[in-house]
Structure 1
Amino acid sequence: MNKSDMIERFNREQRIDIVYPGTRREADEYVIRQISSGEEDSFISYSSLTASQADAIIQRELDYFASLGRRFEWKLYDFDQPANLRDRLEARGFEIGDAEALMVMGLESGHPLLTASIPESIKPITNDEGVDGLMALEESIWQESHQELGHRLKHDLRHTPDELMIHAAYDEAGRIVSGAWMYMHTGTSFCSFWGGSTLPDYRGKGLYTGLIAIRAQEAWKRGFRLLTVDASPMSRPVLERKGFQCLGYTYPCKSPQV
């Protein structure tokens, strides 16, 4: 599948038709909204705009979410139209986050990830205590609260356990030193990868690769054939060596405070 076809498939399955756990999907001819039922921000997963209507729709969405008393994220991709949509959002007060590479890989029989050995230190997380340990790791690395993320992961493990898989690598003292999770999007071809944070002293030891491999193997077992991840500059080279292709760049655009 060529790049343009893959972008079309990604848009359809991961941005337009998808219903995310813990959200209410709202759609019209201009945007797809995902309204959070919890503490996390709601977001716009997809937009179809022209240059002549973009500013009016942006203001409409600002007014709509203000009426809900909610801040939201406009998840923007660099192939979205109009081409200057990011500039238009910024002009309306949106905070534009750092770019991440949209990476996608197709799994086929015989792919090296499917036969890769998994480090013994990598184990599944299935309870709240494990999630708390993973959030402690995330907070120690990124120096910011991950409370809302922790609540969502706990909720999804309890209510949609067939759609979420979490793994972590432990040191000899039982401390989590690397961790990642995967959502398996029922009704689509995709699993999405998240996390992958590793403590500095444990980088370069194969843990990140092991977390990629175990998720790929689980995705394959469950019939999913496409993997996607928003990659940081540090992660992108590793993912490319494993066979991921960059389709473009995505930007988290946070609306002004309500």
Structure 2
Amino acid sequence: MNKQDLLLLFDKELRKNLHTPGYRREVTEHVIRHVSLHGERGFIIDSRVNEENASEVIQEEMNYFNRLGVGFEWKVYSYDRPNDLKELLGQAGFTIEPQESLMVMDINDAHSLRHRKQQTYVNEIVDQKGIREMISLIDIIWEDSHEELGNRLWRDKQNDPDSLYLYGIYDDDRLVSAAWICFEKNSSFASLWGGSTLPEYRGKGFYTSLLSVRANKAKEKGYQFLTVDASPMSKPILEKHGFYCLAYSYGCQSPELSRNH
């Protein structure tokens, strides 16, 4: 499958047709939004706007989520239109997160990962305690609170355990590296998340070990592709193992809610 066909498949399965556990999918003339059923932040995963109506639609979506009393992320990809959508969101007060690379790999080509000797120090995380430890690790690395993410992961693991697998590497009883994989229903793609390692434990192959165990799990479950939004630090490692870049993505976070709410 060539790059353009693969991008079209990604766009169809993980944007236009995506269904997220714990969220209500709403399709309007201009956007596909996902609204949390638990009062958490929502997100817009796909949009159909142009230069004439983009600013108006952005304001409408800000008003919509404002009425719900929650913030949201508008996910923008480098091939979205209009070309200045990210800049228009910034002008509306959104915080534009650093660029990430949309990386994809055919699992059948993942020889270096799938045939890597499995490290006995990679542990599957299955309980709330482990997820809390993982969130504490992410909080330390990114210097921010991820409590809502932890709540969602634990909820999803309880409600549909086969859709989410989490892994960690420990030094004695201390979690030092962690990552997870989500299996999207009715999709060819399994998505990789996390991949966080404490600075003093980097360079030991932990990131690659976590990649390997997740690639094998995806193969076991019959998925064809792995996908991940990669930071500049992760991109070279992923490229080394056969991932290639389809596009770039930007998480655009809505401004704080109106004080009227």
Letter matched to residue 224 of structure 1: Y
**Alignment correspondent of 1:137:** 137
Query: How far 1:112 moved relative to its partner?
Result: 2.4
Query: Is the CA contact (8 Å cut-off) linking 2:191 and 2:228 kept in structure 1?
Result: yes
**Alignment correspondent of 1:148:** 148
Query: How far 1:195 moved relative to its partner?
Result: 0.5
- 1:110-142 residue CA offsets vs partner (Å, 9 max, x unmatched): 722111112111010000011111112112222
Give the TM-score normalised by structure 2: 0.95
Query: Is the CA contact (8 Å cut-off) linking 2:109 and 2:242 kept in structure 1?
Result: no
- 1:33-65 residue CA offsets vs partner (Å, 9 max, x unmatched): 011123531000001112122122112211211
- Partner Cα separation in structure 2 for residue 95 and residue 39 of structure 1: 21
Query: How far 1:109 moved relative to its partner?
Result: 6.3
Could you say if the C-alpha distance between residues 197 and 110 of structure 1 is closer, same or farther in structure 2, counting changes exceeding 3 Å?
closer
- Partner Cα separation in structure 1 for residue 98 and residue 126 of structure 2: 31
- Partner Cα separation in structure 1 for residue 113 and residue 61 of structure 2: 42
1:249 equivalenced with 2:243 (yes/no): no
Could you say if the C-alpha distance between residues 50 and 110 of structure 1 is closer, same or farther in structure 2, counting changes exceeding 3 Å?
closer
Q: Larger deviation: 91-100 or 101-110?
A: 101-110
Letter matched to residue 99 of structure 2: A
Could you say if the C-alpha distance between residues 87 and 109 of structure 1 is closer, same or farther in structure 2, counting changes exceeding 3 Å?
closer
Q: Larger deviation: 176-185 or 32-41?
A: 32-41
- Partner Cα separation in structure 2 for residue 215 and residue 80 of structure 1: 29
Secondary structure of the 2:26 match is: strand
Letter matched to residue 96 of structure 2: I
Query: Is the CA contact (8 Å cut-off) linking 2:110 and 2:242 kept in structure 1?
Result: no
Letter matched to residue 103 of structure 2: M
Letter matched to residue 34 of structure 2: Q
**Alignment correspondent of 2:211:** 212
Query: How far 1:90 moved relative to its partner?
Result: 1.2
Query: How far 1:246 moved relative to its partner?
Result: 0.7
Identity of aligned residues (%): 44
- 1:215-258 residue CA offsets vs partner (Å, 9 max, x unmatched): 00000000001111011110000001011111111111111212
Query: Is the CA contact (8 Å cut-off) linking 1:39 and 1:148 kept in structure 2?
Result: no
**Alignment correspondent of 2:159:** 159
- Partner Cα separation in structure 1 for residue 247 and residue 109 of structure 2: 26
Query: Is the CA contact (8 Å cut-off) linking 2:168 and 2:177 kept in structure 1?
Result: yes
**Alignment correspondent of 2:236:** 237
Written as runs of structure 1 = structure 2, the 5 A alignment for 1:1-258 is: 1-108=1-108, 111-171=111-171, 173-258=172-257
Letter matched to residue 133 of structure 1: E
Secondary structure of the 2:93 match is: coil
- Partner Cα separation in structure 2 for residue 169 and residue 253 of structure 1: 31
Unaligned stretches of 5+ in structure 2?
A: none
Letter matched to residue 128 of structure 1: Q
Letter matched to residue 102 of structure 1: L
Q: Larger deviation: 205-214 or 45-54?
A: 45-54
Secondary structure of the 1:234 match is: coil
Could you say if the C-alpha distance between residues 110 and 197 of structure 1 is closer, same or farther in structure 2, counting changes exceeding 3 Å?
closer
- 1:125-176 residue CA offsets vs partner (Å, 9 max, x unmatched): 00001111111211222222121111111101100111000000111x2211
Letter matched to residue 183 of structure 2: M
Q: Larger deviation: 104-113 or 86-95?
A: 104-113
